[in-house]
Chains A and B, each alone.
Chain A
Amino acid sequence: MRVVSDIELVPASVRRSATFLEAAEALVSHPVTTIAVLDDDGRVVGLFADSDLLKGLFPRYLAELRHTAFAEDDADALAARARAVATDPVEKHMHDPIVLDESSSAIHAAERFLHCDLGALPVTRDGRFVGMLGRAELCRAVLARTET
């Protein structure tokens, strides 16, 4: 079974010139947790994931802390942070790209997913972006094949 043979890919992407806010809006408007960042030729230069959105909207030192049950929201500070990152170039916040060729097997796609914290990975044809493959869609396709 090839990755894209019977799975519907999600064409979720932004140009590398996009801002953090534009990428965030594109991300939340698609049913995947990661979108591709593309150059002018349609090649994947990065990935913008929900974890990047989280890191941009909240203080980065949170990743260093393990105990924050005592903490309370400071609405003004959160709003100020969101305003500050809104115009950042998306490239400042994105992951390095991990790409699946459309000829990849489901086994290879599953292995890639298991070794990264991304909920979706870009699929390419001849090096150019085709669409995003989500973890759930991959699993759904495998289950559907099992049932038939």
Chain B
Amino acid sequence: MDIVAVLIFVAALGVIAFEWVHRTKAALVGAGLVVLIGVIELDTAIDAVDWSTLGLLIGMMILVGLSERTGIFTYLALRTAQLSDGRPVRLIFLLAGATGLASAFLDNLTAILLVVPITLLLADILRISPIPLVLVEVIASNIGGTATLIGDPPNIMIGTAVPELTFNDFIVNLAPVALVTLAVVTAVLYFAFRRQLVVSPERVAELERLDPARDVRESRYVKRSIAVLLGTIVAFFLHAPLHIEPAVVALGGATILLLVASDDVEDALERVEWSTIFFFLGLFVMVGALEERGVIGEIADWLAEATGSTAGQGMAILWGAAAGSALVDNIPFTAAMIPVVQELQADDEVFQDGLWWALALGACFGGNATLIAAAANVAAAGVLERSGQPISFGRFLAVGLPVTLLSLVIATVYLLLFQL
């Protein structure tokens, strides 16, 4: 049965990596098989699902979906572009900074779905190709999302699986390295793309003539949505002293917003990306089967023997998570690695967080390597495809892989100096 659990998981990863079927179908078929074949009992499979992660994701999707209807995110994106005065250096740094910040406090998948369509309109106004700007935004979203517990799906999974790690722990330990990495990577991307982003003065004047607040003025519930969104973010900072789980904060914020700023519950719940939720559900069951069969324990033992010291383990996790994320997708890879790191720490008398930061940095930064490595990349590619301006796997790789290697070098230095 051990080998069956491994084969089903590897087959599901392969199907996801080659995009033979939708990733949610692959995860649900894998989960169904491990239960039907008897690799894992149904009760154990249900226990293996991390309901807190699902709750956090659903809460944030409702919160951001309802807030988005007010037009505040469009306003911020347009205002950011206007502040650039059409100068490439300012345009790239402002868009990267705004996307990174939005990713950190909304989650990067949502941030990308909000910012990419408006970027296509901006590029049309400025008469430049949208591809460099979208690439900058996707990369910034994966790096910015690394900074917080809610910023990127791998961090959400780690944060909910490890109760010792609070929202503030993520910010203190990951935000500085994410900020430095974002600055360095954005500078590199500026030099790579600066010639493609030259804008004529007439187009800059056209951009500056637009009134970005017009949509916000025409929307209902603007003040209430902003208040609840900011209140939820403040509650994330306070969740540890208040002894409230992050999932409860997100679902609480979503419920309050549903009460005060939504006339149609059905419409609000349509904002939830149910395919993503069921993808997670299937993954948790497959990984639960690997745990149940002792496969995870064996991987952890092998890793401990092969690497020896904590620093060696941290480096193996950082670079291994990045490689795994690049080849498959950082969500299933993180789902599989979380119990491995838990096993590695099982005998430790004192909780050490360094390995968790290595996993978060590897999975999140690794998400930039290929087009399929992170949910945000797939979402951006989908928007570009539907808009008739598709980006190829190779073109993304040509930018994403060097950026990932650079990010991992920065993460390596940071981890060795401060965490391991």
Residues of A within 8 A of B (CB): 59-61, 63-72, 74, 77
CB pair B121–A71 under 8 Å, yes or no, is: yes
CB pair B386–A67 under 8 Å, yes or no, is: no
Q: Given the interface contacts A71-B210, A72-B210, does A59 sit within 8 Å of B120 by beta carbon?
A: yes
Instruction: Indicate whether B212 reaches chain A with its CB closer than 8 angstroms.
Output: yes
CB pair A65–B117 under 8 Å, yes or no, is: yes
Q: Given the interface contacts A59-B121, A61-B120, A77-B124, does A68 sit within 8 Å of B209 by beta carbon?
A: no
Q: Which residues of B contact A67 (CB under 8 A)?
A: 71, 74-75, 215, 219
Instruction: Indicate whether B300 reaches chain A with its CB closer than 8 angstroms.
Output: no
Interface residues of B in 71-93 (CB under 8 A from A): 71, 74-75, 78
CB pair B117–A64 under 8 Å, yes or no, is: yes
CB pair B387–A61 under 8 Å, yes or no, is: yes
Bound-complex Cα distance A67 to B386 (A): 18
CB pair A60–B71 under 8 Å, yes or no, is: no
Q: Which residues of B contact A70 (CB under 8 A)?
A: 74, 78, 210-215
Nearest 6 A-B pairs (CB), nearest first? A64-B117, A67-B215, A67-B71, A61-B387, A61-B120, A67-B74
Chain A residue nearest to B123 (CB atoms) is A61
Bound-complex Cα distance A59 to B211 (A): 20
Query: What are 24 of the A-B contact pairs (CB < 8 Å)?
Result: A59-B124, A60-B387, A61-B117, A63-B386, A64-B116, A64-B120, A64-B383, A65-B117, A66-B69, A66-B74, A67-B71, A67-B74, A68-B121, A69-B214, A70-B74, A70-B211, A70-B212, A70-B213, A70-B215, A71-B210, A72-B210, A74-B124, A77-B124, A77-B127
- Which of B74, B117, B209 has the most C-beta atoms of chain A within 10 angstroms of its own C-beta? B117
Nearest CB of chain A from residue B221's CB, rounded to whole Å: 14
Nearest CB of chain B from residue A93's CB, rounded to whole Å: 11
Q: Which residues of B contact A71 (CB under 8 A)?
A: 121, 210
CB pair B383–A61 under 8 Å, yes or no, is: yes
Q: Given the interface contacts A69-B215, A70-B211, A71-B121, does A60 sit within 8 Å of B68 by beta carbon?
A: no
Q: Which residues of B contact A77 (CB under 8 A)?
A: 124, 127
Instruction: Indicate whether B125 reaches chain A with its CB closer than 8 angstroms.
Output: yes
Bound-complex Cα distance A61 to B387 (A): 5
**1/0 contact trace for B95-125 toward A, CB 8 Å?**
0000000000000000000001110110011
Chain B residue nearest to A71 (CB atoms) is B121
Bound-complex Cα distance A63 to B383 (A): 10
Instruction: Indicate whether B388 reaches chain A with its CB closer than 8 angstroms.
Output: yes
Nearest CB of chain B from residue A61's CB, rounded to whole Å: 4
Instruction: Indicate whether B218 reaches chain A with its CB closer than 8 angstroms.
Output: yes
Bound-complex Cα distance A68 to B215 (A): 7
Q: Which residues of A contact B75 (CB under 8 A)?
A: 67
Chain B residue nearest to A59 (CB atoms) is B124
Q: Given the interface contacts A59-B121, A74-B125, A77-B124, does A64 sit within 8 Å of B214 by beta carbon?
A: no
Name 12 extra pairs, CB < 8 A, besides A65-B74, A67-B219: A60-B386, A60-B387, A60-B388, A61-B120, A61-B386, A61-B387, A65-B121, A70-B211, A70-B213, A70-B214, A71-B121, A71-B210
